[in-house]
Amino acid sequence: MKNRTTTSLTMLALVICSTGGFAQQRLQGRQQVVEETPKAALEADLHEAISMLDRKQFQLLMYDFLPGSFASRRAFESRQSRTGLGRRNPEPPPILSVAEVKDLKAAIRAALSGKRTYDRNQTLVEITYIKKPVELIPATKPGYIPAATDRPSGPIHGLGSDLKRMLTQAAALLDSGKQEEFVRSVYPLPELANLAQADNMQRLLSRLKSQPKMAEAMIRDLTAAAAADNRNSGATTDITLPAIDKQKSGRILKFELVEGNWRFFDGGKQHRNLYRQLTSASIGSHTVPGSKGSMVLYRFNGNWRLHAMPANEPLTQ
């Protein structure tokens, strides 16, 4: 585990385990402090294993704490991942999966307060532990989700029912730095209702002011849209602009006439309604069942290492 003496971790060396018959890589330079008892070393090594998991130091953990059979199996899987003439797959198998990291960390944490039984030489220890049931309470729902029919409070101002004039005026508002008046005049009403919550409007205005190139692009598009032909379908209209990339088709700007004013089309209308339906349903808490488990560790060169991966079973058994 982590160096607890004045010596440093200098190199990886190969050690042959005479009892298991497999090769293990050990960290040289980890000399035992004379004052450190086997029990104190076990406590420190368990905490160090959790720290390695938290820091995602999985290779170091494999060579330093996990069973030697685990390292051998991972080496075999790595060889199996080779294809063709020695070429590896783009994504070799991970040392530990997300689920394995979660389970191993939970087992080691439970072992810190588990019952420990040592052999007479204190070179072997079995730790039995219990992981209590955990109640998972769902995260709180969003404070506000605008519906497709929501409107901001107070008077609503727009730029009129003449589409070309609206587009020209919208571009002029942006060009003169009147970002908030632009937003309130042309954004969909449900989106304005959402922007009225907390500091959403200020964050949007800050982005518009801090990214002048984005504002310049919007001005160009609105100006081009005012001069382009449009396909009017009653309360909605589409305007096609040239593609930025020659390899792609043209871009379509869509607008809708709302309460006598043209605004950007509310493309999130359907998704907002579905989201409200999904989040309106009550979600009960969920209890992760408890379990009991055990792990056996052996002491080698003053350091503790798992003999096998922890074994767990349901608490009811």
User: Is the residue at 155 inside a domain?
Assistant: no
pLDDT for position 241: 87
Q: Which residue has the tokens 């449009």?
A: 230
Task: Tell me if 48 is assigned to some domain.
Answer: yes
- The whole model's pTM is what? 0.45
**Would 120 be classed as within a structural domain?**
yes
- Tell me what pLDDT residue 95 has: 83
231 and 178 part of one domain:
yes
> Which class for 279: exposed (0-12), middle (13-18), buried (19 or more C-beta within 10 A)?
exposed
Output the six-digit token pair for 34.
């004379």
pLDDT (0 to 100) of residue 48: 95
Q: Are residues 17 and 109 in the same domain?
A: yes
Please compute Rg for the chain using Cα positions: 32
108 inside domain: yes
Of 64, 71, 70, 67, the closest CA to residue 48 belongs to 64
Domain extent for 260? 163-279
Distance between CA atoms of residues 250 and 238, nearest Å: 12
Q: Is residue 150 part of a domain?
A: no
Tokens read off for 117: 């039984």
Residues 269 and 308 in one domain: no
SS3 of residue 135 by DSSP: strand
Taking each helix axis as running N to C, give the angle between helix 200-210 and helix 179-186, from 0 to 180 degrees, rounded to the nearest 10. Answer: 120
pLDDT < 50: residue spans in the chain: 2-34, 84-86
- What is the total count of domains within the chain? 2
Per-residue confidence (pLDDT) for residue 40, from 0 to 100: 93
